[in-house]
Amino acid sequence: MREIKFNLGLPIAGFKRAQAWAQRAEELGFYSISVADHMFTRTNFLNFERTPAQPQIECYMTLAAVAAITKRVRLVPFITPMKFRHPPLLAKMLSTMDQISGGRVIAGLGAGWQLEELENYGFGFGTNAERIERLGEGIRILKAMWTEEAPSFAGRYYTIDKAYNFPKPVQKPHPPIMLGGSGKKILEIGGREADIMNLIAAVYQGSIQPSQQAMFDNSRLKKKISELHDFARAAGRDPDSIELSGFPLVLMSASKSEADAMARSAGDACGIDDLDEVRRLPMSLIGTPDEIRRELRYRIEEFNMTYYMLALGSPEAVELFATRVMPEFRL
């Protein structure tokens, strides 16, 4: 059994608050911290809404600054669309962050999903096939620049020729790669390239809606894990070499009545009446600390999911999760 890992997503409205959360996360024993890699976010996620007008700090600048003031906690860009940064530049940035942090970077990568964001900033949304092909080519460039002396690559979208990258990352052979998504083509790349697969609900038409969270239930999660394992075997890899990760929004209260009210509100957003069914949605963790510990044990035993990228909305929630949930899962 792998170590059970918990990641704390940092607040993104300003650096001072992100800095304080990062330092506290390290003190509390979180395995990693992450910053959402977006220019802006428009989403409605179990009644948690963000709009483009809300402040959002840049991911890599923030993580590099946090790397210099922490010692142990790992650092995860979550999740970098390959279109945002030319892959050779991204390889150099991640190498440098790994140097700054002493080997604590996890490379969170994806194809990109937010249509409005990609279009507004001039990257272009394109087709799903194009974005996924770019992701696959980009990963090959990253790995080449992290491991080869004079890396070269020629693909449909990206080409490098002797793209020297010194110093190399501290981690050998390279920083772990976490891929985010659950579409078939993403899972195929994951089976071939990923060290960690963050399995999240598919995004349609460039937005996340509560109905998508309801569709991504345990039966669908199990199917996606099976597909990932098939792709790993086809690539000549041991499926168990890919760590499974989830991205739950945590709605937690020490009060049973408040926790039930949160579950009812989430169920209303998703169109689900059964509170037990709401609590079993892979994209959420809802309940009292006891209920959340029980649900985590189920997910670990049923799916072998050992890495949780948590969305916790307040310092109080962070403290409650760290003191009432995490201790049970420490080795």
Report whether pLDDT(212) > 80.
Answer: no
pLDDT at 207: 59
CA distances from 191 to 155, 181, 229, 241, 253 (A): 20, 12, 7, 10, 37
**pLDDT bracket for residue 76 (50, 70, 90):** very high
pLDDT at 49: 72
Residue 297 CA to residue 294 CA, distance in Å, equals 5
Tens of pLDDT, residue by residue over 17-41, are 999 999 999 999 999 999 999 999 8
Question: Are residues 51 and 107 in contact, defined by beta-carbon separation less than 8 angstroms?
Answer: no
pLDDT at 270: 85
Torsion of CA 300, 302, 308, 309, to 10 degrees: 180
Report whether pLDDT(205) > 60.
Answer: no
Phi and psi torsions of 150, nearest 5°:
-130, 70
Report whether pLDDT(203) > 80.
Answer: no
Number of structural domains found in the chain: 1
**Between 47 and 198, residue with greater pLDDT:** 198
pLDDT at 46: 57
Residue 72 CA to residue 169 CA, distance in Å, equals 17
The DSSP result for 150-177, as a single string, is S--EE-SS-EESS----SPPSSSS---E
**pLDDT bracket for residue 50 (50, 70, 90):** confident
Domain range for 115 is: 5-329
- The mean pLDDT of the chain is 94
**pLDDT bracket for residue 44 (50, 70, 90):** low
Q: What mean pLDDT do residues 201-218 have? A: 73
Q: What mean pLDDT do residues 233-251 have? A: 97
Give pTM, 2 decimals: 0.96
pLDDT at 47: 53
Residue 125 CA to residue 204 CA, distance in Å, equals 13
Report whether pLDDT(208) > 80.
Answer: no
CATH code: domain of residue 323: 3.20.20.30
Of 309, 307, 251, 237, residue with least CA distance to 78: 309
Residue 232 CA to residue 238 CA, distance in Å, equals 6
Angle value at C-alpha 30, between 28 and 34, nearest 5 degrees: 125
pLDDT at 133: 98
